[in-house]
Amino acid sequence: MTSHGVARRSRAGPREVCFVKYYEKGSTDIAADQMAAALRRRGIAARSLQIAQARQVRDAILIFVKRIDLGDLLRARLQGNLLLLDVQDTVVFKRGIRYAPAWDGVIFRSARALADFGRGDGAVLIPQHWDERYGPHRYTGDRLRAAFIGDPRSYPFPAPVPGLELVFDDWFARARDFNAHVSVRSTRREILYKPNNKVATAAACGAVLITIPDEAAREHLGDDYPFYCDGTAAAVEAAMRRADGMVGGIEWQRALAILERVRERTSLTRTTELYVDYLSRFAELLPAGEELRSKSA
């Protein structure tokens, strides 16, 4: 990390916070659009910008979601901005942090990623919050109803698992029909570095999570969580059969209690508090509305 950030708080005036995205997808929606809106509700000037818009910004805190091009990095620095990177899951696919020395700060989404790639006081752990478009499930039956919820590319098996419904679209509405979610990571780097999105989503829905004990699951659920399984289709099917006989029982309730604590820790409210604390280390944060007055002055 550079010496500009936490080690030496900016001497410039109050700064607007801008989340910068190169494309539109789930990660930019939750990490840029939702966070900017949450900071504005806290009275902080914040925007979510496409890269073309961000190229015009000066003297702000820019949080790039997942990536930055070298030309944009140099331009942003020359325009007096502080530069932060929200890693998301990029270390699953990359061997390190691109342009690592240039960042004033880096936001990691898992403790393992922070431990392996974080450098200096500018590196921080902020778990991914759950999307507020999810809500508690409405399934009232006494049998297991399980779903894999996500992009088809993330589904780890070549064929459906008996009894597991695949929800590849309309996630927020359809998630309410299931009392259990399934998460399986396929590669070693996914197991090590994938963020906690699946855990937080199950928690938001009040659903039990059947999952392999990947690093994010163990970080949030603990080592004695009752619904871990191996990462094969046969193991998932066996875990679902076992869970079907435990719906509403002691271990089922224990799992839900663990997930309720996760829900509280990964709420947007809590995540916003972590952002405000972290960003305030770098500079005074511009109050919402002040950016409009400065532009009209």
User: Mind listing the pLDDT tens digit for each residue in 253-267?
Assistant: 999 999 999 999 999
Same domain assignment for residues 152 and 260? yes
Domain assignment present for 140: no
Range 154-163 average pLDDT: 96
What is the pLDDT at residue 292?
54
The span from the CA of 32 to the CA of 21, in Å, is 7
Nearest residue to 221 (alpha-carbon basis) of 232, 230, 210, 231: 210
Domain assignment present for 136: no
Edge-first strand order for the sheet with 146-149 is 164-167, 146-149, 180-183, 208-211
Partner residues linked to 149 by β-bridges: 167
What is the pLDDT at residue 297?
38
Of the pLDDT bands very low, low, confident and very high (cuts 50, 70, 90), residue 234 is very high
- Looking only at the bridges linking them, the beta strands covering 46-50 and 61-65 are unpaired
Same domain assignment for residues 161 and 241? yes
The span from the CA of 127 to the CA of 129, in Å, is 6
The span from the CA of 47 to the CA of 49, in Å, is 6
Range 180-209 average pLDDT: 97
Note the pTM of the prediction, 2 decimals. 0.92
CATH assignment at residue 101: 3.40.50
CB 235 within 8 Å of CB 211: no
Of the pLDDT bands very low, low, confident and very high (cuts 50, 70, 90), residue 119 is very high
Range 269-273 average pLDDT: 98
The amino acid that residue 49 corresponds to is: L
Mean pLDDT across the chain: 94
Same domain assignment for residues 283 and 254? no
Range 39-68 average pLDDT: 97
Same domain assignment for residues 288 and 208? no
Residue 27 confidence (pLDDT) above 90: no
